[in-house]
Amino acid sequence: MNTQLMLGLLAMAVGGSLHAADIKMDDQSQLTQQSTKAAGEQYFQPPKESELPANAFGELVQQGRAIFVDTQKYAAEYVGNGMNCTNCHIEQGRKANSAPLWGAYPMYPAYRKKNDKVNSYAERVQGCFQFSMNGKPPAADSHVMNALTAYSYWLSTGAPTGQELPGRAYPEIPQPKGGFDIAKGKQVYAEQCSICHGDNGQGQKAGDRYVFPPLWGKDSFNWGAGMHRINTAAAFIKESMPLGKGGSLSDDDAWHVAAYMNSHERPQDPRLVEGSVEKTRVRYHANDGVNLYGQEVEGVVLGQGIK
Amino acid sequence: MKFTRWPLAGVTALLVTMQAQAADGQKIYAQGGANPAAMACGTCHGADAMGMAAAGFPRLAGINAGYTRKQLADFRSGARANPIMQPIAASLSDDEIQAIAATLEAMPAPSYAAVGRAEKAEGVGATLALRGAWGRNIPECVACHGPGGLGVGESFPPLAGQSVQYLSGQLNAWRQGTRKNDPNDLMGHIARSMSDAEVQAVSEYFASLAHKGASQ
């Protein structure tokens, strides 16, 4: 390799790292679709809380669990919106088909073709903070990351490594035959969702803290979060919403309401390319599932961001 | 929707205040409504609206006015069946319901500890409240009613400060279908999945959170 090229690469690397100093991942899309569960087979069963040892490990796991279920309180400096980890990972990260931690942890480190690098588990979790929490990623060796990793590791006790477990993702559901319909989604939202998430997706608080997460607007997940994909949101909604009544919406309604949710403005994708929504759309959203980033909805181009 | 409702409510409140015969929530609470069948609320719910635990009359102080209005309307319609409250609600005028609901929301209630999902959970009641029973699609009670069951908005009432008798009575009413006034059966489907022992334990749990702080 000649010196000029090396210098050039070095400059690129430095320039790149300066430009994206806070960006830990190039994307945070899920890995491949989950394997399915055979009839009669049980989902992986994480250990019971009562089985935790009364020692420093058990204590760290409990701290990780606390951060996971009350991120607003226990990792406040890393959170930029009104979300808690457990808003998307139901049952404290234990529930099958709701991106359980026991399905994720044993899959890392993982090579990901999309960004052509090996992501560690810490990097994956940093992605959550950056996008879903619209915040700042905790350092890989921080207490918050150590605690979350310990919690994930413990929930994975007895799970095989490097093997996709049934129930590890939100099970994908087929798109409506005639495509999704935002107007229908608005109706489903009013009937099924607004009681908890508010008339305008603003969520609901008790005191100064959110109990029901905001679904769009400044306190919600940003345009880089996995949930901004309509297909991902539809799968999540079908499986777990309304809370405790998962599976009660039709596949089509889950898609419609996911489209309605994601047809609203939310915080900017922190990977914004040269201040351009269009360039960001081409680079990060054009092939990232079904999404409306950079698309025009009712005369307005989405992806402008909101603060 | 909220944004348009507030100014309207404000104008309505102003108009009501300007009328000499405006309903007086305090008076209704202490002495009853214009119709003699509308008994004074304080007779059963206590002068301080903190309820009467042994008899199962719930705390009303500090409860969201929107929630109270809906409950009174549902007692009228029978969506929430109750032989004592049905005739009382039916004899209250709409103005009186507005007034009493606002008065109750403004009445002071003790503060309760905001026990959330991060806390340790020991026993059946605390486990249901803070961990849920997701194998049966039962979310953590605090996921909707807020940490400590302090209540969230118009639709998720406070559980803290309610008695075992009241809480278990309501859960059993949902199980039996005599109370079915929750939007989308959100509470009914949960109650129907609970056992007798769980109803008792979780009621005891939230009742035990009472009286953690002084009156504000």
Domain contains A10: no
Among B172, B199, B180, B136, smallest CA distance to A245 is for B136
The enclosing domain of B134 has a CATH number of 1.10.760.10
**Which residues of B belong to the annotated binding site for heme c?**
41, 44-45, 85, 141, 144-145, 187
What would the pLDDT profile of B89-134 be if each residue is shown by its tens digit?
999 999 999 999 999 999 999 999 999 999 999 999 999 999 999 9
Give the nearest partner residue to B134 out of A91, A195, A199, using CB atoms.
A91
The sign of the torsion formed by the CA atoms of A93, A94, A97, A103 equals positive
Q: Which carries the bigger pLDDT value, residue B9 or residue B201? A: B201
From B78, B106, B134, the end of a domain falls on B106
Task: Say whether both A276 and A201 belong to one domain.
Answer: yes
Q: Which two tokens stand for residue A79?
A: 């959170």
CA A5 to each of CA A11, A18, A290: distance values in angstroms, whole numbers, following the listed order: 10, 20, 39
Q: What is the model's pLDDT at position A15?
A: 39
- CA A229 to centroid of chain Cα atoms: 10
Query: In this predicted model, which residue has the larger pLDDT, B33 or A2?
Result: B33
In a shared domain, residues B89 and B149: no
- Cβ distance B184 to A242 less than 8 Å, yes or no, reads yes
- Whether residues B203 and B131 share a domain: the answer is yes
φ, ψ of residue A111 in degrees (nearest 5): -80, 135
Number of domains forming the structure of chain B: 2
- Out of B118, B155, B183, whose CB is closest to A70? B118
Does A70 sit within 8 Å of B150, measured CB to CB?
A: no
Structural contact between residues B136 and B100, judged by C-beta atoms closer than 8 angstroms: no
Domain of residue A224 covers 170-306
Q: Count the helices and strands in chain B (H runs, E runs).
A: 11, 0
Single-letter amino acid code for the residue at A164? E
Tokens at A277, concatenated: 């929504």
Give pLDDT, residue B214: 40
Q: How far is CA A7 from its chain centroid?
A: 37
Is the pLDDT at A102 greater than 70? The verdict is yes
Report, as an integer, the average pLDDT of B30-58. Answer: 94
Q: Is the pLDDT reported for residue A21 higher than 80? A: no
A98 touches chain B (CB under 8 A): no
Q: Are strands A117-119 and A110-112 parallel, antiparallel or unpaired?
A: antiparallel
What is the mean pLDDT of the segment spanning A170-187? 97
User: Do B160 and B199 sit in the same domain of this protein?
Assistant: yes
- Nearest chain A CA: its distance from B18 CA (Å): 31
Cβ contact (<8 Å) for B118 and A69?
yes
pLDDT band per the 50, 70, 90 thresholds, residue A252: very high
d(CA A292, CA B1): 25
Is residue A18 one of the residues assigned to a domain? no
Alpha helices by DSSP H, listed for A156-213, are 182-188, 194-197
Q: The CATH number of the domain where A157 resides is what?
A: 1.10.760.10
Q: Confidence class of residue A25 from pLDDT cuts 50, 70 and 90? A: low
pLDDT digits (tens, 9 = 90+) for B13-41: 444 444 445 789 999 999 999 999 999 99
ipTM of the complex: 0.89
d(C-alpha A161, C-alpha A163), whole Å:
5
Q: What is the mean pLDDT of chain A?
A: 91
- On whether residue A132 sits in a domain, the answer given is yes
pLDDT greater than 60 at residue B202 = yes
- As a whole-number percent, the residues of chain B with pLDDT over 70 amount to 87
Q: Mind telling me how many Å the CA of A224 is from chain B's nearest CA?
A: 26
